[in-house]
Copies of this chain bind each other. A is one copy, B any other.
Amino acid sequence: MTKDYRQFCGLARAAGVLGERWALLVVRDLTLGPRRFKDLGEGLPGVPTSVLTARLRELEQMGIVERRAAQQPGGGVVYTLTPYGAELTPILDRLGRWGAQRMSVPAPDEIITSSSLAAALRAAYRPGAITAATFSIHVGPASAWAAVDGSEVTVDVGLPESTPALIIHGGPQFRLLLAGRLSAAEAITSGAVEIEGPHAVLEDFVRAFHVPLDDVIGTP
């Protein structure tokens, strides 16, 4: 449990916990807010309950995750990030952007989860482009929303509470829109995305949310 490198090194510690299978994705999902065991399991297709339990215990023991009784609907248990764990958020955002640089279009067997979409939106946010707006995004089976207010952005899975300025339905090409490889206009005319709302708001969206994409040279 929890890899041990026997090195007195902050990075080795981090690698020890977060390098375990599924650990980083569990934390990613928890950066969006408190989650139940079941939510985590469903949001991470392929995790056996036994592994999820193990990861949560380890993260708990390292002070990253906290296990609490849920007050509201139905009681039960929720997992949250501790303040220490929450400090990972900006780091994971950067790491996620780094990894996304080489991701153009989903492979046939790759899925998009709502949590990954929400986290990607948060990581993609560039303050200053727009002042305020709420977006509702659907990509394949995944749904998330992002609410911009000044330099802040709030994201989560599912649907926004307030009515969004724009609803976007995107397909596999959605990534290219975030990369600027497709302009807002192109994305619409090509059918890469369909929107409910004004075209101009989609222009706002692409200005506010951006993740560059490398020209990847084939490996000769």
Q: Is A128 interfacial (CB-CB < 8 Å)?
A: no
Contact indicator per residue, chain A 11-23, by CB within 8 Å of chain B (1) or not (0): 1111100111111
- For the complex, give the distance between the alpha carbons of A214 and B82 in Å: 14
Q: Which of B22, B100, B109 contacts A10 (CB 8 A)?
A: B100
Quote the shortest CB–CB distance from A65 to chain B (angstroms): 13
Among A88-96, A149-157, A160-168, A199-207, which stretch is in contact with chain B?
A: A88-96
Question: Are A11 and B103 touching (Cβ within 8 A)?
Answer: no
Question: Are A14 and B98 touching (Cβ within 8 A)?
Answer: yes
Instruction: Say whether, besides A19-B21, A24-B19, A84-B214, A110 and B14 are in contact (CB < 8 Å).
Output: no
Question: Are B87 and A12 touching (Cβ within 8 A)?
Answer: no
Quote the shortest CB–CB distance from A115 to chain B (angstroms): 9
Question: Are A116 and B7 touching (Cβ within 8 A)?
Answer: yes
Question: Are A107 and B25 touching (Cβ within 8 A)?
Answer: no
Q: Is A191 interfacial (CB-CB < 8 Å)?
A: no
Quote the shortest CB–CB distance from A25 to chain B (angstroms): 6
Q: Is A134 interfacial (CB-CB < 8 Å)?
A: no
User: Which residues of chain B are within 8 angstroms of A197 by Cβ–Cβ distance?
Assistant: none
Contact indicator per residue, chain A 90-123, by CB within 8 Å of chain B (1) or not (0): 1110111111111100110111110010011001
Quote the shortest CB–CB distance from A127 to chain B (angstroms): 19
Q: Is A33 interfacial (CB-CB < 8 Å)?
A: no
User: Which residues of chain B are within 8 angstroms of A23 by Cβ–Cβ distance?
Assistant: 15, 19
- For the complex, give the distance between the alpha carbons of A7 and B22 in Å: 12
Question: Are A95 and B11 touching (Cβ within 8 A)?
Answer: yes
Question: Are B14 and A96 touching (Cβ within 8 A)?
Answer: yes
User: Which residues of chain B are within 8 angstroms of A8 by Cβ–Cβ distance?
Assistant: 103, 106-107, 110-112, 116, 175
Quote the shortest CB–CB distance from A21 to chain B (angstroms): 6
Quote the shortest CB–CB distance from A126 to chain B (angstroms): 16
Question: Are B99 and A88 touching (Cβ within 8 A)?
Answer: no
Question: Are B11 and A102 touching (Cβ within 8 A)?
Answer: no
Q: Is A46 interfacial (CB-CB < 8 Å)?
A: yes
Question: Are A6 and B46 touching (Cβ within 8 A)?
Answer: yes
